[in-house]
Amino acid sequence: MNFMKVCDSDEEAGVRDNASIGTASTTCHVSPVSPPLSSHPSFSCDLLHDCDPALLWELPNLKRSSDLSLTAGAFSKPLDGAGLGEDSYFISIPALGVADGVGGLEKVLGHSSKDFADDLMIGCQRAAQLQPCRGADPCEKAERILREGYKQVNKHGAATAVVAYFDSKQNQLGVASLGDSGVIVMRRPTVQNLGGAQSSSCSGRSSIVFRSPSQQHDFNLPYQLSRLPEELKHKSLRSPDQPSDSLTFDVEVEEGDLILMYSDGVVDNLHEHDLLEICDRAMSPYAAHALGLHPDAATAPELIAKSIVLAAYVRSGDQQASTPFAEDARKAGRPQPECIGGKEDDITCIASWVSYEKPEG
């Protein structure tokens, strides 16, 4: 193993079951488009709404621009469906974070990167609970949380990471993303803005208005933070990635928006239209308010996160599925067997509604 490839899986580490599986020059054929998630026999969205007519109604524009906050919940499922896995996350409103421990390091370190990922998220949570630097943009606050959290890590290992910070005064979500963990912001249109701004992907009811890009040194070799024993540092041919290498964004958000933060196990297995299919079954607190429904009609964010993770887990075990990871493998010229099917991995998602919080008094 060439250690500079501090890797996310055995494949990244160059470890394959059989060297004759193929070569980089093997032509990868485009696999058929996967059917809708709802048609898969193992998939269920019972946790969410299904045919509720309220999900089809056009929403009036009654959005409030002050006193907004985040309502968040999370769900995580390890690679083998049990145990702890190597993902970690924190929720400390107005900050959120996800870290994806690098699995391929276990062969070198003799242990997983779970403790590293946990240390990183614990450190970020502590940093978030301190008063962030005043006057800074939200993305600068998110990067500062990641930077300060990383300083507190003592365990050996590596992880990709993403941190978000919600600025309720500016109604902006600051994002600092390193590697292939990321953030998606979804929005259900109101009557006034139907057919308005262009988006990268949309459905009948919702659209993706922001998605953070992935940072990769090479195929399946994402940027990552690390702490390594001295005897291993000299084997790396590349300078270690730092929090300052993260991509930062300030994203305008509105009441009713749905924010997803995730490890790559989500987007390696689910396309944007899959995520929209799931999230269109959820009702935001804003939609419940605008339609005159009881607040309890809103879908709890942890149920959205659980539905997404379980859908990604089902897809990860489907060896005939057309997945984003398989498509990226094909574009990278990987051997044919890598160009179809799901990618088995730890899978974590935080779902957050941007919701109105009535002032006290």
Report pLDDT digits (tens) over 308-349. Answer: 999 999 999 999 999 999 999 999 999 998 899 999 999 999
What pLDDT sits at residue 134?
73
168 inside domain? yes
Q: pLDDT above 90 covers what percent of the chain?
A: 67
47 inside domain? yes
CATH no. for residue 150? 3.60.40.10
* Burial bucket for residue 232 (CB in 10 Å: 0-12, 13-18, 19+): middle
Is 45 a residue whose pLDDT tops 70? Answer: no
* 62-111 pLDDT per residue, tens: 999 999 999 999 999 999 887 889 999 999 999 999 999 998 888 888 89
Domain count, the chain: 1
Is the preceding omega at residue 94 within 30 degrees of 0, hence cis?
A: yes
Q: From start to end of the chain, where are the E strands?
A: 68-77, 87-92, 95-101, 157-167, 172-178, 182-187, 201-202, 207-211, 216-218, 221-222, 225-227, 247-252, 258-262, 347-356
Is 119 a residue whose pLDDT tops 80? Answer: yes
Res. 182 pLDDT band, cuts 50 70 90: very high
Domain of residue 102: give its range: 36-356
* Token pair recorded at residue 235: 């084997």
Please provide residue 308's backbone torsions phi and psi, each rounded to the nearest 5 degrees: -65, -45
Contact call for residues 103 and 93 (beta carbons, < 8 A): no
21 inside domain? no
**Average pLDDT rounded to a whole number, residues 190-198:** 56
Task: Provide the CB-side half-sphere exposure for 176 (13 A, CA).
Answer: 29
